[in-house]
Amino acid sequence: MDIQDLSVSERILLAQELWDSVAEQANEMPVSPQQAAILEQRLNALASDGNQGEAWQAVKSRILGR
Protein backbone atom coordinates (compact mmCIF):
# COMPACT_ATOMS: atom_id res chain seq x y z
CA MET A 1 0.00 0.00 0.00
CA ASP A 2 1.33 3.43 -0.92
CA ILE A 3 0.20 5.85 1.75
CA GLN A 4 0.29 8.71 -0.75
CA ASP A 5 -2.57 7.03 -2.61
CA LEU A 6 -4.82 7.66 0.39
CA SER A 7 -6.81 10.87 0.77
CA VAL A 8 -5.81 13.31 3.47
CA SER A 9 -8.72 12.26 5.66
CA GLU A 10 -7.82 8.58 5.21
CA ARG A 11 -4.20 9.30 6.20
CA ILE A 12 -5.39 11.20 9.27
CA LEU A 13 -7.56 8.25 10.29
CA LEU A 14 -4.66 5.87 9.71
CA ALA A 15 -2.36 8.02 11.84
CA GLN A 16 -5.00 8.19 14.55
CA GLU A 17 -5.45 4.41 14.57
CA LEU A 18 -1.68 3.92 14.67
CA TRP A 19 -1.32 6.36 17.59
CA ASP A 20 -4.18 4.70 19.48
CA SER A 21 -2.57 1.29 19.05
CA VAL A 22 0.71 2.63 20.47
CA ALA A 23 -0.95 4.56 23.31
CA GLU A 24 -2.68 1.40 24.51
CA GLN A 25 0.74 -0.15 25.16
CA ALA A 26 2.59 2.96 26.37
CA ASN A 27 3.21 1.45 29.79
CA GLU A 28 5.11 -1.39 28.15
CA MET A 29 7.80 0.97 26.84
CA PRO A 30 10.93 0.68 28.95
CA VAL A 31 12.33 3.81 30.60
CA SER A 32 16.10 4.02 30.92
CA PRO A 33 17.66 4.96 34.27
CA GLN A 34 18.71 8.29 32.74
CA GLN A 35 15.14 9.04 31.62
CA ALA A 36 13.80 8.04 35.04
CA ALA A 37 16.28 10.39 36.72
CA ILE A 38 15.24 13.30 34.48
CA LEU A 39 11.57 12.64 35.17
CA GLU A 40 12.24 12.49 38.91
CA GLN A 41 14.13 15.81 38.77
CA ARG A 42 11.27 17.46 36.89
CA LEU A 43 8.66 16.13 39.32
CA ASN A 44 10.73 17.37 42.27
CA ALA A 45 11.13 20.79 40.64
CA LEU A 46 7.38 21.03 40.07
CA ALA A 47 6.62 19.99 43.65
CA SER A 48 9.10 22.47 45.16
CA ASP A 49 8.02 25.38 42.91
CA GLY A 50 4.46 25.49 44.17
CA ASN A 51 3.38 27.44 41.07
CA GLN A 52 0.82 25.30 39.29
CA GLY A 53 0.31 27.89 36.55
CA GLU A 54 -2.81 29.81 35.63
CA ALA A 55 -6.39 28.73 35.11
CA TRP A 56 -7.34 28.07 31.49
CA GLN A 57 -9.94 30.86 31.46
CA ALA A 58 -7.31 33.43 32.52
CA VAL A 59 -4.89 32.25 29.84
CA LYS A 60 -7.60 32.15 27.19
CA SER A 61 -8.76 35.67 28.09
CA ARG A 62 -5.21 37.00 27.89
CA ILE A 63 -4.65 35.34 24.50
CA LEU A 64 -7.90 36.70 23.14
CA GLY A 65 -7.06 40.15 24.51
CA ARG A 66 -9.98 40.44 26.88
The reported pTM is 0.45
pLDDT at 50 over 90: no
Output the pLDDT for position 20.
93
Give CA–CA dist 62/66, Å, rounded. Answer: 6
13 domain-assigned: yes
Total domains in the chain come to 1
62 domain-assigned: no
Output the pLDDT for position 6.
95
In this predicted model, what pLDDT tens digit does every residue of 13-37 receive, in sequence order? 999 999 999 988 888 889 999 999 9
Q: 33 is in which domain, residue-wise?
A: 3-50
Give CA–CA dist 15/12, Å, rounded. Answer: 5
Coil, helix or strand for 59? helix
